[in-house]
């Protein structure tokens, strides 16, 4: 379906609105379908038992340290799982192309996108479940200090892992270079066949001239039949040469695009988490030495965020990971502030009640303050990580639509895969545990984000306003309706997803 081709054969305004509404509703319904499972998982994670390690950590690292640590860990999980899915999809697509399955035919292109899409969605969900389960085990076993160490070590080891992956990727490209050898061999075979055909025609012409010069008569095959046969053979050779050149060009174009995606997203995976991890480590460090609630920590935290953000944005070689790294750092800062504010509100309310004659002990007030701080930290971190995952998925969906991967295929395919994974995760939830289920659901939100991002790109591509308005209306109505009218959550997520869908990470 060509949405940007106005003129003859294009859809009327009313039909554009109808088609756009249907496409938007598919992406919106999938986004809304993730709301209830995510909320149920979050409610389980905020019960008294799972929340106790966080409450204990308030006294260890302070509310600012807890908020920044929980936010950085949640965002790291979301970003890592999303990038793992993208890289796995790129690896599968590269293998698909290297096997020369990517030919000019429409059927083979569908196979490429389907295999890559399935690999990406599965990789995102599996890695999310893995990181979520590991994080839960670390918190339950070693507390938030253990999570701080794990986050720090993981952040330190990601750049060397990037170098190792680049080496392995180059080795994989070398192993897959047989496709280029096959193309060269086929070119040589066609050139040989072309040369032999030319020589054969030349010999036939010379023999005919000699026969006529000697006064002989032509016997056997009719000359016109012979020339017609030779002409058809030559046309067949030329057609094969053109088909091979087209297929080779397409293979090289897609492989170059895949290589670019891998390079950019491996850099993203290696470096984007550094700014927010630095913020979490410093604020947690202040908490460990007894300054978890001191106002100076807020001032230092604000200064760190401003300095790091300034140097990243002012970089002469500004990259996509820098943009997302700044946003992740800012989100970590906001989560820390919300955590501190929740504890202060609980303390103020308890103080007022005590002044009014309520006989509440200091331990009960402390428990209430720690509970509110932990609850706010987890709620805010979960919402931000969900929005981050949705946005990263939208970036992929928008890029695919702009690359003409097929609007309907991307929107419906991503929604179908996300819905299938959602059903599987709900069945496996008891085995995955709360952390694993939460991570897997975040991965599914990323897959749904691909559909949402594709819808956003389609809304922009319509040549007339009715198509754009119909697409946006379908997205919003589908998301809000299926999402049980969570207007605030969805209303905050969709604009962010739209911005990322319009962003070109390459």
Tell me the torsion sign for CA atoms 20, 23, 29, 31: negative
Mean pLDDT on 229-238? 69
Q: Show which of 201, 220, 245 is a domain's final residue.
A: 245
Q: Is 372 contained in some domain?
A: yes
- Residue where the block lists tokens 């106005």: 6
Higher-confidence residue of 243 and 427: namely 427
217/264 same-domain check: no
Q: Is 7 contained in some domain?
A: no
Render pLDDT for 148-189 as a digit per residue (tens, 0 to 9). Answer: 899 899 888 888 888 888 777 776 666 655 555 455 566 666
- Cα separations in angstroms, 69 against 108, 333, 434, 442: 46, 10, 19, 18
318/274 same-domain check: yes
pTM: 0.81
201/346 same-domain check: no
Burial label, 446 (beta-carbon count in 10 A; 0-12, 13-18, 19+): buried
Higher-confidence residue of 424 and 295: namely 424
- Residue where the block lists tokens 């004659």: 357
Instruction: Check pLDDT > 60 for residue 220.
Output: no
- Tokens representing 66 are 């807890």
Query: Can you tell me the distance from the alpha carbon of 447 to that of 77, in angstroms, rounded to the nearest whole number?
Result: 15
Query: Can you tell me the distance from the alpha carbon of 28 to that of 106, in angstroms, rounded to the nearest whole number?
Result: 28
**Per-residue pLDDT at 40:** 87
Query: Can you tell me the distance from the alpha carbon of 407 to that of 27, in angstroms, rounded to the nearest whole number?
Result: 11
Q: Is 6 contained in some domain?
A: no
194/176 same-domain check: no
Q: Is 253 contained in some domain?
A: no
**Per-residue pLDDT at 106:** 43
**Per-residue pLDDT at 184:** 59
Residues in the chain: 506
52/161 same-domain check: yes
> In percent, how much of the chain has pLDDT > 70?
80
315/382 same-domain check: yes
DSSP 219: -
153/279 same-domain check: yes
Mean pLDDT on 64-80? 89
**Per-residue pLDDT at 205:** 66
Q: Is 382 contained in some domain?
A: yes
Render pLDDT for 293-309 as a digit per residue (tens, 0 to 9). Answer: 777 778 888 888 888 88
**Per-residue pLDDT at 176:** 56
**Where is average pLDDT lowest: 42-51, 118-127, 271-280?**
42-51
340/437 same-domain check: yes
Other CB atoms within 10 A of residue 490 CB? 21
265/240 same-domain check: no
Q: Is 33 contained in some domain?
A: yes
Quick one: how far is CA 423 from the chain centroid? Answer: 20
Render pLDDT for 86-144 as a digit per residue (tens, 0 to 9). Answer: 888 888 877 777 765 444 444 456 677 778 888 888 888 888 888 888 988 898 888 88
Mean pLDDT on 370-377? 87
Got the DSSP string for 465-501? HHHHHHHHHHHHHHHHHHTTT-HHHHHHHHHHHHHHH
Q: What is the CA radius of gyration of the chain?
A: 30
Q: Show which of 216, 245, 274 is a domain's final residue.
A: 245
Q: Show which of 199, 217, 245 is a domain's final residue.
A: 245
**Per-residue pLDDT at 103:** 47
- Cα separations in angstroms, 10 against 14, 205, 322, 467: 12, 53, 41, 12
174/195 same-domain check: no
353/424 same-domain check: yes
159/52 same-domain check: yes
Q: Taking Cα atoms as reference points, which of 393, 323, 379 lies closest to residue 81?
A: 393
Number of domains in the chain: 2
* Helix 223-271 × helix 106-175 angle, to 10°: 60
Q: Is 506 contained in some domain?
A: no
Which residue range forms the structural domain that includes residue 221? 186-245
- Residue where the block lists tokens 């030329």: 238
Q: Is 385 contained in some domain?
A: yes
């Amino acid at each position: 379906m060509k949405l940007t081709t106005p003129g003859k054969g294009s859809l009327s305004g009313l039909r554009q609105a109808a088609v756009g509404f249907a496409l938007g509703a598919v992406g919106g319904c999938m986004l809304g379908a993730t709301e209830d499972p995510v909320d149920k998982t979050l409610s389980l994670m905020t019960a008294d038992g799972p929340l106790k390690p966080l409450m204990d950590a308030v006294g260890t690292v302070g509310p600012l340290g807890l908020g920044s640590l929980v936010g950085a860990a949640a965002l790291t999980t979301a970003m890592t799982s999303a990038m793992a899915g993208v890289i796995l999809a790129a690896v599968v697509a590269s293998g698909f192309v290297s096997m020369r399955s990517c030919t000019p035919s429409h059927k083979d292109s569908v196979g490429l996108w389907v295999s890559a899409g399935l690999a990406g969605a599965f990789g995102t969900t599996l890695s999310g479940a893995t990181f979520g389960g590991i994080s839960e085990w670390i918190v339950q076993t070693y507390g938030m200090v253990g999570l701080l160490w794990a986050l720090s070590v993981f952040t330190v080891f990601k750049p060397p892992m990037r170098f190792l992956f680049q080496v392995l990727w180059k080795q994989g490209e070398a192993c897959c270079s047989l496709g280029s050898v096959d193309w060269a061999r086929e070119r040589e075979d066609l050139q040989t066949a072309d040369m032999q055909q030319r020589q054969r025609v030349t010999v036939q012409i010379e023999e005919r001239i000699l026969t006529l010069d000697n006064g002989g008569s032509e016997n056997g095959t009719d000359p016109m039949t012979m020339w017609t046969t030779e002409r058809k053979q030559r046309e067949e050779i030329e057609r094969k040469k053109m088909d091979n050149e087209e297929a080779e060009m397409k293979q090289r174009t897609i492989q170059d695009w895949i290589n670019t995606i891998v390079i950019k997203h491996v850099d993203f995976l290696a470096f984007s988490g550094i700014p927010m991890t630095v913020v979490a480590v410093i604020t947690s460090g202040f908490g460990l030495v007894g300054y978890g609630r001191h106002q100076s920590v807020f001032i230092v935290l604000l200064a760190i965020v401003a300095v790091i953000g300034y140097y990243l944005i002012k970089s002469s070689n500004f990259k996509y990971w820098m943009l997302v790294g700044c946003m992740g750092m800012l989100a970590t800062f906001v989560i820390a502030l919300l955590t501190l504010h929740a504890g202060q509100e609980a303390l103020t309310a308890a103080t007022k009640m005590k002044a009014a004659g309520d006989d509440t002990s200091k331990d009960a007030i402390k428990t209430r303050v720690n509970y509110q701080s932990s609850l706010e930290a987890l709620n805010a971190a979960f919402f931000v990580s969900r929005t981050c995952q949705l946005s990263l998925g939208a970036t992929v969906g928008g890029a695919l639509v702009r690359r003409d991967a097929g609007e309907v295929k991307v929107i419906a395919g991503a929604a179908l895969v996300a819905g299938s994974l959602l059903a599987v995760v709900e069945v496996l939830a008891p085995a995955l545990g709360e952390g694993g289920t939460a991570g897997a659901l975040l991965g599914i939100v990323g897959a749904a984000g691909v559909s949402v991002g594709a819808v956003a790109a389609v809304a922009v591509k319509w040549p007339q306003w009715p198509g754009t308005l119909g697409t946006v209306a379908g997205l919003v109505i589908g998301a809000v309706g299926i999402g049980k009218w969570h207007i605030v959550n969805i209303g905050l997520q969709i604009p962010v997803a739209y911005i990322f869908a319009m962003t070109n990470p390459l």
